[in-house]
A = this chain, B = another copy of it.
Amino acid sequence: MAYHNQPEIAKLGAAHLFTPDLEKSLWFFHDVIGLEIVARTETKVYLRAAMEREHHSLVLEAGERSRLDHVSWRVRRPEDLDKFYTQLTENGTEVAVQAPDAEDGYGESLRLQMPSGHKLRLYWDVEKPAVAEADRSVLLNQRYKSWNRGIGVRRIDHVNLWSTHEPEPVHQWLTDNLGFKLREYVQTPHGRIGGWMSVTPLVHDIAVMKAGPHETTPARMHHLAFWLDNAADVLRAADILVEAGIKPDQGPGKHGVSQAFFLYVRDPGSGHRVEIFSNGYLIFDPDWEPVEWGVDDIATALAMWGPTDYIPHTDDHVMNTTTEA
């Protein structure tokens, strides 16, 4: 059997976002969301959360338009980068090799594009910067102090992408080429409107959903999610956002899909949507069968309780979250 030698993705690494107002976005992600700054240049800031060891989980870059540049994924073993190169190329995906970048802490990496137009990057080597003693947690298994600032998210969790293409073939491509397993999906008579996929026991490291009918930009990001340990922490986040002058976009509420307790909010500098979330569940079963939510269950799938207005084809939800095709 071949699959034993297939390369694997270990985890979501980082999202790279462009923002037309870098200072305001930095204020939002650093002061309000509570990410820590690892490095910055004139046009870019690298940030990570309290629990994270790698160089960064978020890059903010100044740019004319707000867009998701790419999503980075760490492979499971050093040799998986080469294997992915071979496998992807043989399967017809164009792959560019990017030389190590002293600035972002990555070694050699691969660049490729999903059939939906979203851009991905794969890497193995990555710096794991230490933390100055003043900021260091008393917990040896944690980088920065808990509750250091603002909401104090614990780690990046997942990305949720929007596509004008039918999502089902995109899901299949993610399975065939990168090994993502479909965990849950919503099916209507008109097709699959979204799928939640992972390589980890999280219900999703990535989701790909169908964009609304009036959408012209083929590849967007719906949201980037950060994790908190308790639902109560998400409620505290809502207070902090409003006190900072930022009205949450939607929530709090509970998705049936993935059982996420969620709160959505837009970065006021860029319009990128961030999900502050907790709860959910983990999948340890190696033979998990994808959960299908049909038309009768779609209301529960999208909102077991809480707001019911974020059905994903409402066009005005997508402005300012464009990814270039």
Is B304 a contact of A138 with CB atoms below 8 Å? yes
Q: Which residue of the partner chain B has the closest CB to A140?
A: B291
Contact with B along A228-255 (1 / 0, CB 8 A): 0111110110111111010110011110
Q: A10-B285, A242-B305 are in contact. Are A230 and B279 (CB under 8 A)?
A: yes
Q: A256 is contacted by which of B140, B203, B251 (Cβ under 8 Å)?
A: B140
A203-B141 Cα distance, complex, nearest whole Å:
10
Could you list 19 A-B pairs, sorted by A, with CB under 8 Å? A10-B286, A12-B284, A137-B243, A138-B245, A140-B297, A141-B257, A141-B258, A145-B243, A146-B239, A146-B243, A201-B282, A232-B232, A235-B261, A238-B306, A239-B305, A247-B305, A252-B252, A252-B305, A306-B307
Contact with B along A89-104 (1 / 0, CB 8 A): 0000000000000000
Please, how many residues of chain A have a CB less than 8 angstroms from a CB on the other chain? 71
Q: Which residue of the partner chain B has the closest CB to A1?
A: B79
Q: Chain B residues with Cβ under 8 A from A40's Cβ? A: none
Q: Chain B residues with Cβ under 8 A from A241's Cβ? A: 305
- Among A166-201, those with CB < 8 Å from B are 184, 200-201
Copies of this subunit: 4
Q: Chain B residues with Cβ under 8 A from A245's Cβ? A: 138
Is B238 a contact of A305 with CB atoms below 8 Å? yes
A203-B140 Cα distance, complex, nearest whole Å:
13
Q: Chain B residues with Cβ under 8 A from A222's Cβ? A: none
A279-B235 Cα distance, complex, nearest whole Å:
11
A4-B2 Cα distance, complex, nearest whole Å:
10
